[in-house]
């Protein structure tokens, strides 16, 4: 089976990254079926977040989270107190309150 470098778009940052032929061989040899979704820096950041959450839970401490995001409605940079779910829009406070007011 021949493998060639492939360009994939990262689901977190949106940047393109190269999934090398060597990495594809590794995935194939390990029986991994899904191609990577994140570039290496985003994958490392995700693993660090998960490790921090696990460490906080193990110690019984409640971890305060602040994540920088871009509002899906107005485009303004803001922070939110949670890790956004992939594929779901995140809003700044004013856009969130405005959309929440429309639903009621």
Could you read off the pLDDT of 85-103 as tens digits, one per residue?
Answer: 777 889 998 998 988 776 6
**Is 22 in the same domain as 56?**
yes
Taking residues 16-35, report their average pLDDT: 94
Mean pLDDT of the chain, nearest integer: 86
**Is 56 in the same domain as 68?**
no
pLDDT at 103: 60
Quick check: 36 and 6 in contact, CB under 8 A? no
**Is 33 in the same domain as 22?**
yes
**Is 40 in the same domain as 69?**
no
pLDDT in tens, 51-78: 877 887 788 777 677 888 889 899 999 9
Q: Which range marks the domain in which residue 95 is found?
A: 64-104
Taking residues 30-56, report their average pLDDT: 88
**pTM of the full predicted structure?**
0.59
**Is 8 in the same domain as 59?**
yes
**Is 4 in the same domain as 44?**
yes
**Is 73 in the same domain as 53?**
no
**Is 11 in the same domain as 57?**
yes
The domain total for the chain is 2
Instruction: Give percent of the chain above pLDDT 90.
Output: 40
DSSP string, 6-64: EEEE-TTT--EEEE-HHHHHHHHHHT--SPP-S-HHHHHHHHHHHHHHHHHHHHTPPPP
Taking residues 9-26, report their average pLDDT: 92
Which residues does residue 80 pair with via DSSP β-bridges, in sequence order? 67
């Amino acid at each position: 089976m021949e493998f060639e470098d492939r360009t994939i778009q990262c689901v977190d940052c949106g940047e393109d990254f190269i999934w090398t032929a060597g990495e594809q061989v590794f995935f194939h040899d390990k029986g991994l079926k899904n191609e990577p979704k994140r570039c290496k820096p985003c994958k490392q950041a995700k693993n660090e977040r998960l490790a921090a959450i696990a460490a906080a839970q193990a110690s019984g401490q409640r971890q305060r989270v602040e994540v920088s995001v871009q509002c899906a409605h107005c485009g303004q940079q803001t922070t939110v107190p949670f890790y956004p779910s992939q594929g779901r829009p995140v809003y700044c406070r004013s856009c969130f309150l405005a959309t929440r007011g429309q639903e009621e």
